[in-house]
Amino acid sequence: MIVDSHEEDWSRLHDVKVTGTLLEYVGKGKSIVDVGLAQARRPLNTRFHYYELEITDPGEKCYIALGLARRGSGVGDAFGPRCFEGDIMGCGIMFPRDYSLDAGDDVDDWDFDVIPKPSEVQNDLYANNEEEEEEEEEEEEEKIWRGGRNGKVVGRRDVALPVGGLYPTIGMMSTGEKVKVDLHPLSG
């Protein structure tokens, strides 16, 4: 029995070693094919809508990325500023107040293992809703993804929430990189 290893929080690990809440890149770090990847076992939802990491060791080049991806995917677009040792980076989804989750038949007893129910979403969180009004005709469900650095929001994007949700995903690519991850912080 391993106490508080947190390895059970991750469904996909490639060239990443888990020690408690610490993730360490153990790959070669020579080229783009040497990317280390860690993807959480559960998607973000209305109860756990945000996660964050602290860069404890930037390694040789600090090629650390965090974001949200479909289950099994590790591909993303560049977003936000470059980060350094000691930075605390966050990533989450701002669900509307009336957003509901439909549990489905194949879900276990955990609250956060639910599959999102498609519904129409309107952005009431920002004063300028012109873009959202024009996009109401689209059939894809939109959610607001946001990123933060050291307690400040660095940006947001409207994204379609795929069936099955979006999973916290971390990429690393230079030797010596280490991050401390909190998948369920008290704030966010």
The stretch 154-169 carries a mean pLDDT of 88
How far out from the chain centre does Cα 141 lie? 18
| More confident of the two residues 174 and 127 | 174
Q: Which of 62, 64, 63, 16 is nearest to 40 (CA)?
A: 16
Q: Which of 184, 183, 171 is nearest to 16 (CA)?
A: 171
* Topology of the domain comprising 7-72+86-122+129-182: Jelly Rolls (2.60.120)
Confidence of residue 124 (pLDDT cuts 50, 70, 90): very low
How far out from the chain centre does Cα 59 lie? 21
Per-residue pLDDT reduced to its tens digit, 71-89: 988 777 777 788 899 999 9
Is 181 in contact with 21 (CB distance < 8 Å)?
yes
Decide if pLDDT at 24 tops 50: yes
What mean pLDDT value characterizes the chain? Answer: 77
pLDDT of residue 149: 84
Confidence of residue 53 (pLDDT cuts 50, 70, 90): very high
The stretch 19-23 carries a mean pLDDT of 95
Token pair, residue 41, equals: 């076992």
**Would you list the domain boundaries of the chain?**
7-72+86-122+129-182
